[in-house]
Amino acid sequence: MRRKTVLDLQKMKAENNKIAMITAYDATMAKLVDAAGVDMVLVGDSVGMVVQGLEDTLSVTLDDMVYHGRCVSRGLKNAHLTVDLPFMSYQISPEQALESAGRLVQEGKAQSVKLEGGERSAPAIEKIVNAGIPVVGHIGLTPQSVHTLGGWRVQGRGDAAAEQLIQDAMAIQDAGAFAVVLEMVPAELASEVTAALRIPTIGIGAGVDCDGQVLVCNDLLGFDLGFSPKFLKRYAELQNPIGEAVARYVEEVRNGAFPSSEHSFHRKNPAKKITRLY
């Protein structure tokens, strides 16, 4: 088997086959989702919130993304790996964007990189693509701009905002990106954008008409039942069974039930005593 490529993913749009993408951060989870058949794995800068316990993504560094990209890459055999460019790793200049993208490919083992922004990010996208690195765009709710957007809010609801989002999508495509993520966008608008673009759209809170969907692995598996955005569907609720399992472990350690004989190693001649050397 081989990893899915940009051409494979674009062919899926052309043949109207939906793309399943999952965000993951470590080799173990990558191996599990890869075996389950996902088409793409995203190492998102959401690692700051999901793994590092931060309030937003703004403190995540390029070194963080390189590290987690490399970890996830080791768990994949089939899925295409894309890795986020974090805040302030591409906004200064197209040259900076290319240098950062190069690190994600060389050191982080990414097959493609993802960055936020539409028209304003087009020069950076073009620079990266012209160097031979595939790019995924990201518009709608862009978490790195959370302070400008006034929080985690649906984007593109008004006519002017919808028109701007369409322009941003076109700019991303024209700059050479091979796909674009649409986050927290009205379903009707996402459908219109998807029909207008030649490149695949990957939705998160953007309706069923996108060419694909993405969710964070921890969210769809229900690691945190207190996190319940409208766009999230849980396919399991693992928070409680994980907690229960750990609680049983703690109890058995304290009462001496673990480790039992079956979980212990034994000498070949246990009756023979070891002579002290002191």
Q: How many helices (H) and strands (E) does the chain have?
A: 11, 8
The number of residues making up the chain comes to 278
Residue 20 has pLDDT above 80, yes or no: yes
What was the pLDDT predicted at 61? 98
Mean pLDDT for the stretch of residues 77-94: 98
Choose the catalytic residue: 95, 163, 183, 237: 183
- Whether domain 6-220 has CATH 3.20.20.60: yes
In this structure, are residues 76 and 68 in contact, taking their beta carbons and an 8 Å threshold? no
As a whole number of angstroms, the distance between CA 213 and CA 32 comes to 18
Mean pLDDT for the stretch of residues 38-64: 98
SS3 content of the chain, % helix, strand, coil (to 5): 40, 15, 45
Mean pLDDT for the stretch of residues 96-101: 98
Burial status of residue 23 (CB atoms within 10 A of its CB: 0-12, 13-18, 19 or more): buried
CA dihedral 236, 152, 91, 58 (to 10 degrees): -70
- pLDDT tens digit sequence for 116-143: 999 999 999 999 999 999 999 999 999 9
- CB-based contacts of 35: which residues, under 8 Å, 6+ apart? none
What was the pLDDT predicted at 82? 98
As a whole number of angstroms, the distance between CA 172 and CA 38 comes to 24
- pLDDT tens digit sequence for 215-268: 999 999 999 999 999 999 999 999 999 999 999 999 999 999 999 999 999 988
Buried b (16+ CB within 10 A) or exposed e, 139-151: bbbbbbebeeeee
Q: How confident is the model at residue 277 (pLDDT cuts 50, 70, 90)?
A: low
What was the pLDDT predicted at 267? 86
Pairing verdict, β 80-84 and 112-114? parallel
55 is catalytic: no
Mean pLDDT for the stretch of residues 19-25: 98
Mean pLDDT for the stretch of residues 182-196: 98
Mean pLDDT for the stretch of residues 195-203: 98
